Amino acid sequence: MTKLLLTMIGLAVVALSRGDGDQQFCAIGDLKLQSGSTINDCKIGYRTFGKLGPKGDNAVLVPTWYLGTSADLRGSFRPGGLVDSSKYFVIAVDALGNGVSTSPSNSQTQRDAAFPTITIRDMVESQHKMLLRLGITHLHAVMGISMGGFQTFQWITAFPNFVDKAIPILGSPRPTSYDLMFYASSLKTVNEAINNKSARASLIRSFADFFWLALNTPAYYVEHTRREGAVESLRGFEAALLAWDPYDMASGLNALLNQDVFKPFGDSEASAAKAVRAQVLVVAASQDHCVNPTAALSFAKALRAHTLVLTGDAGHSSPGAEMKRLGPTLSKFLSQP
């Protein structure tokens, strides 16, 4: 038994030392969920970039956004980007249910409708188990965009002593009333697509168009999209969403709807804030139509956190549009004592 354990640890060290951005998987066994249900034989996908320092104190976890995978993050880990992998050991992790990690679309025993409902907290629990399996017992930082930001808020409240720094970017500790309406209407369309196979493609296209319009602001589209071909410009995002499994899409939306880091603290923002030990930088976008910034900025005040508000008209796409401003701020925050 001891020999087997040492072998597993050795394999984990080899996997972590690669840092080449290749897709890897960590088997964490059965995962007990917040609902009381269990995901059988759970596997979490991840990619690593850079090298783990001799003291193991430079690991940065980056969870994926909704409808995103770790492959989408590969170009982000450079000087001036989200994280500089020449300084930090970056672990980009595929969120539970995203079609790479164990999900409705790839589960061997709980496929599609048989897959249990998951929460953002479940995603974080799975990542915590993965890190321990890989020999990572502490993180220099956790950071993520959109649903990755939701997961970041969960990390600092669920495992306050595991993380030194946290950067939720365009995330929320819990959805505002606007967010709830946005996610619920999205989920309704996706569920209709699941239940009506003959109209599935049409319904997914409608969801894609609705989602695409919310990603930026009207002013941004007027400035950056020509009238000629404007309608046709929707087709690319439609095609991207048609490639996703609708059960995976619904799983992520359910998780967003049920996000609430205050609930375990008696629904108290102040109590949740007192539990946090990490230094926090909250990044919000003032014109975000996908994740309203009100809840994040309120929690930032309770945390006495650093804040950065992106004010351009790119809305939920602001991190990419304003990376020249965002990148140096992230770098400074990550490196300061």
Q: What is the pLDDT of residues 262-296, one digit of tens each?
A: 999 999 999 999 999 999 999 999 999 999 999 99
Mean pLDDT of 80-89: 96
Q: How many CA atoms lie within 13 A of 239 on its CB side?
A: 5
Q: What's the fold here for domain 2-177+256-335? A: Rossmann fold (3.40.50)
- Predicted TM-score of the model (pTM): 0.94
Per-residue pLDDT, 84: 97
pLDDT band at 19, cuts 50/70/90? confident
* pLDDT score recorded for residue 10: 43
* Under 8 Å between Cβ of 155 and 124: yes
- Please report which confidence band the pLDDT of residue 2 belongs to, taking 50, 70 and 90 as the band edges: very low
> What pLDDT was estimated at residue 5?
34
The answer on pLDDT for 8 being more than 50 is: no
The lowest-confidence range among 18-22, 159-163, 189-193, 242-246 is 18-22
pLDDT in tens, 194-206: 999 999 999 999 9
Q: What is the pLDDT of residues 119-171, one digit of tens each?
A: 999 999 999 999 999 999 999 999 999 999 999 999 999 999 999 999 999 99
Give me 308's structure tokens. Answer: 């950065």
pLDDT-derived band at 17 (thresholds 50, 70, 90) equals low
pLDDT over 60 (residue 15): no
Separation CA 216–CA 289 (nearest Å): 7
pLDDT per position as a tens digit, 21-56? 999 999 999 999 999 999 999 999 999 999 999 999
Domain ranges of the chain: 2-177+256-335
Strand partners, 167: 143
CA distance 302 to 279: 13
Q: Write out pLDDT tens, residues 173-184.
A: 999 999 999 999
**Cβ pair 6, 88 in contact under 8 A:** no
Report residue 324: phi and psi, to 5°.
-65, -30
Residues 224-232: what's their mean pLDDT? Answer: 95
Distance CA 125, CA 32 (A): 9
In eight-state DSSP terms, residue 20 is B
Tell me the C-alpha to C-alpha distance, in Å, between residue 57 and each of 61, 91, 178, 243.
Answer: 12, 13, 39, 38
pLDDT in tens, 287-336: 999 999 999 999 999 999 999 999 999 999 999 999 999 999 999 999 99
